[in-house]
Amino acid sequence: MKSAIAIAAHPDDIEFQMAVTWLLLKQAGWETHYLNLSTGNCGSAEFSPAKTRAVRRKEAQAAARVLGAHWHAPICDDLEILYEVRRLRQVSAVIRETKASIVLTHSPQDYMEDHTNTCRLAVTAAFTHGMPNFRSVPARAVYHGDVTVYHAMPHGLRDGLRRRIIPGAFVDTTAVQATKLAALACHQSQQGWLDLSQGLNSYLQTMEDQSRELGRMSRQFTHAEGWRRHSHLGFCAENADPLREALGAAFRVNSAYEKGLEAER
C-alpha cells in the first residue's frame, strides 16, 4: 500500500491546512500517517503545561481517528521545534518507518517559526529517506524510491511579511468538508485559547473562511486546500506529481502559477 504522511507543528495544524487532501488520499487507497512535532503544551491560558499536553494529545488522537490515520507521538514542546540534528534524526525515523512517498507539510513561508522550522525538518528528513549513512533515532531502515514533498498554504494565505502566497494547485474539499470540520472540532481546548491569543473569534469559522477563499481562487471549487510542490531535485523524478495522479478530478493545477515558473526558467 502506498503511504503518505502529514507533518505539522502543533495539534490542529493538520486539520486547518491539510486534512481533506489527506482524507482523499486515504479514500484513494493510501495509508495515511499523522505527526505533530509539538505537544501543544503552550496552547492554553487555563491549564498547566502538563495538563495541556495531556488534553491536546487526546484531542489529536481523536482527530486522527476521525481522519482514519495512524497517529505518531510528538517529539518536543511548543517553541522548541528547532532545526537541529537531534530533531532531524527523530523526524527521519518516522518518515523511514512509514515509507512515505508523499510528505505533506507547512509552507516554507509562514507567520511563526514553529511552522517554518517544521517545514525545514520535514523536507530534510524526507531527503534522508534513502541515506544509510545518516542515522535516525530510533534506528530505522532506509527505503528507496521517489518521495514528493508538498507545502500547504500558510495561515492567512500570507507569509510573515504579509505577502500573498499563491497555490500551485488546488484540491477540492467540498464533498468531505464536514469531516474536516469534525476533525478540527476535536481540538475543543483551542477555541478559547485562539480567541484570546490570536483573535480568531471561531477557529472553525476561520478554517471555513480560508477554505472558501481557496475555493474562490481555484475558480472551480466551493471549498479547497492549496498546495505547492517542492523541487524534485534529490527527491523524485522531475515530473512526479502523485497527488495529481491519486486525486484525479479533485485536483486542479493552477496554470497561472505553472506559467510563472516556466517564465522564470
Instruction: List pLDDT tens digits, range 10-69.
Output: 999 999 999 999 899 999 999 999 999 999 999 887 889 999 999 999 999 999 999 999
Residue 181: per-residue pLDDT: 86
Radius of gyration of the chain (CA): 17
What average pLDDT score do residues 67-89 get? 97
| Cα distance between residue 202 and residue 192, in whole Å | 9
| Cα distance between residue 59 and residue 80, in whole Å | 21
| Cα distance between residue 105 and residue 152, in whole Å | 6
Confidence of residue 246 (pLDDT cuts 50, 70, 90): very high
Confidence of residue 197 (pLDDT cuts 50, 70, 90): low
Greater confidence (258 vs 88) lies with: 88
- Domain housing 139: 3-264
Show the cell assigned to 113: 517559526
Domain count, the chain: 1
The CATH number of whichever domain residue 91 belongs to comes to 3.40.50.10320
Cβ proximity of 102 and 69 under 8 Å: no
For the stretch 188-196, contacts whose Cβ atoms lie closer than 8 Å and that sit 24 or more positions apart, written own/partner, are 188/59, 189/43, 189/44, 189/47, 189/52, 189/55, 189/56, 189/59, 190/11, 190/12, 190/43, 192/45, 192/46, 193/43, 193/44, 193/45, 193/46, 196/45
Show the cell assigned to 167: 497555490
Torsion sign across C-alpha atoms 226, 232, 235, 236: positive
Residue 77: per-residue pLDDT: 98
Confidence of residue 196 (pLDDT cuts 50, 70, 90): low
For residue 203, pLDDT beyond 80: no
Report pLDDT digits (tens) over 159-189. Answer: 999 999 999 999 999 999 999 989 988 988 8
